[in-house]
Amino acid sequence: MPQLPEEVALEFNRVKSLNQFKLEYDKLQDEFENLTKLAATIAETDMAMINLVDNFTLWTISCYGIYNSQMPREESICQYTLKEDEYLEISAIKKDSRTNTKAVGDNNYYIGFPLITPTGGKNRSSLYSW
């Protein structure tokens, strides 16, 4: 049996790890509300979000200063943070080739941090700092 390329195997394990939490995304807002407010305060920004990315969708589980519930993964900047070990910072997102200008609106700055599970699976959290 042929082996999967490393990037495909990592993504498979990441999504598998995320699914094992059996999260109900729409019920997590209240639990993480203080965390997103704290993140915006620390980053001195108007908004912050915690997002999780599965195979096809970015799910916002908590947000402060903005409303978002979900979007197709391929339209999100967050999908690129999954590939980073520490964080992804984009100082001019409208000029970045990875950016979907429809999704960013008037925002011009992005910083995203991956969440790492105890078993090493990278999930997705982002602080949107515009």
CA angle 21, 67, 55 (to 5 degrees): 40
- Residue, of 103 and 50, whose pLDDT is higher: 50
- Residue 1 inside a domain? The answer is no
Q: Per-residue pLDDT tens for 66-79?
A: 877 788 988 888 88
CA–CA gap between residue 71 and residue 60 (Å, rounded): 9
CB 50 within 8 Å of CB 60: yes
- Residue 67 inside a domain? The answer is yes
Please, what is the average pLDDT of the chain? Answer: 80
Q: Which structural domain, as residue segments, surrounds residue 12? A: 6-127
CA–CA gap between residue 92 and residue 72 (Å, rounded): 22
Provide the pLDDT for residue 128.
47
pLDDT category of residue 121 using cuts at 50, 70 and 90: low
What's the total number of domains in the chain?
A: 1
Provide the pLDDT for residue 130.
40
CA–CA gap between residue 96 and residue 106 (Å, rounded): 14
Q: Which two tokens stand for residue 98?
A: 């990875």
CA–CA gap between residue 56 and residue 43 (Å, rounded): 29
Provide the pLDDT for residue 38.
92
Nearest C-alpha neighbor of 58 from the set 109, 6, 112: 112
- Residue 17 inside a domain? The answer is yes
Above 80 in pLDDT, residue 125?
no
Q: Per-residue pLDDT tens for 13-66?
A: 888 888 887 877 777 878 888 999 998 898 888 888 888 888 899 888 888 888
pTM for the model stands at 0.76
- Residue 118 inside a domain? The answer is yes
Q: What is the CATH number of the domain that holds 93?
A: 3.30.450.40
